[in-house]
Amino acid sequence: MSRLALSILVFSSISTALAQADPSVSTALADKRFKYPDGIPYQVDTDIGDRGPQQGYNKCNSTTEGPTSMCQTAMVNSIDDFCLWAPAKPNSIIADTEGEEVAWCTKPGRGTRIIPPNALTGVQFMRTPDYLQVVGYIDQTLINLEKDDSGGELDPHGADLRGNPLGGIVFSNGFPSNGGNNNTYQQVIEWHNFMGGGAFCIKACDPAGADAANFCQHVYDRIGCEYNAPNNAQDNVFESCQGDDQDFPGIYTQGGQVMTYKQPPESLGDIESMPYQPRVPASSNCQTYSSNDLYTAAATGTASGSGATPAPGGDGGNNPKSGAAVTRTGAGSSPSHTSNAAHRYIPRGASIASVVGAMALLV
């Protein structure tokens, strides 16, 4: 199967519908700091504001875990231990619920909802010097997204600074700066998560890195995974790799000159073309897993850790300091890709003009 980049060429920003920061917000979500797990309050967002109160809670444990959990504390650690933001109610669309999403996780023990077995149909986990990235394919109906919803973007900012979802926070024990201490979790200050169209990408940037805000930009919410999280994810393939850092989203080189892409405002209409194709970073030490080994045991609550047995050779990206000299064939090439409009992933070959009408649904 050919490799695919999960892309959004025309992406409508929901958050920009808010004209300015809500004056009732006391502290921006991205400025709040918490220690996991004991330093997390019941809710991290105590403001009411124009969008109302936080819908879920952040103090999550065994009593909150299950299909009705409203936990809004997520994790991004490894290929078998990560969470995605998705709706609490069935047949929802991101455009209507971005402020209310809850954490859906691959592993029990977080107090969240659990991503059901067979929901994830392909996953690529990438550990780089500055961030952790998970990109993949999913039967989104199993995590309450309407089948045809091409979704949207979630991040800890938003025009009112309360984040999407409101009060949504992320932690990780997988960064190089954590020194391999899996019992210590760092709060992820900068992250972004694109959901919809049967696909997803989530990137968690190392808070110890000097460029966390640049790698996890939140201003390019109209151009999606291909430009924010360049990847070589494949459906029906589950792999964990080490990788090089990507270029900062929106930064590219043309004719030997470093350029910065400026995303046009929605008032100018659809983004019908892009001035550059993003560079897919090189990867190495990729380990392939079985979906059943990774997620079925976790979803039934029987796995205390990863039950996966990787193929021989390399460490699957679990040791960011190990050799990364050999790049997997094709890992640095430009993949074939799909185009997308207005939070909707459109199959390759579909005309961008044919989906102009979709924009109206989100305005």
Q: What sign does the dihedral 76-280-336-327 (CA atoms) show?
A: negative
Residue pLDDT, tens place only, 201-239:
999 999 999 999 999 999 988 888 999 999 999 999 999
pTM of the model: 0.80
Return the number of other C-beta atoms located less than 10 Å from residue 323's C-beta. Answer: 11
The pLDDT mean for the chain works out to 80
H or E element at residue 298:
helix 297-299
Alpha-carbon span 32 to 112, nearest angstrom: 21
Residue pLDDT, tens place only, 233-267:
999 999 999 999 999 999 999 999 999 999 998 88
Q: Work out the pLDDT band at 299, boundaries 50, 70, 90.
A: low
Is the omega angle on the peptide bond into residue 90 within 30 degrees of 0, that is, cis? no
What are the sequence ranges of the domains in the chain? 4-362
For the chain, what percent of residues have pLDDT higher than 70? 75
Q: What is the DSSP letter of 146?
A: -
pLDDT of residue 298: 57
pLDDT of residue 362: 32
Contact 238, 189 (CB under 8 A): no
Residue pLDDT, tens place only, 22-68:
777 889 999 999 999 999 999 999 998 899 999 999 999 999 999 99
pLDDT of residue 94: 95
pLDDT of residue 177: 86
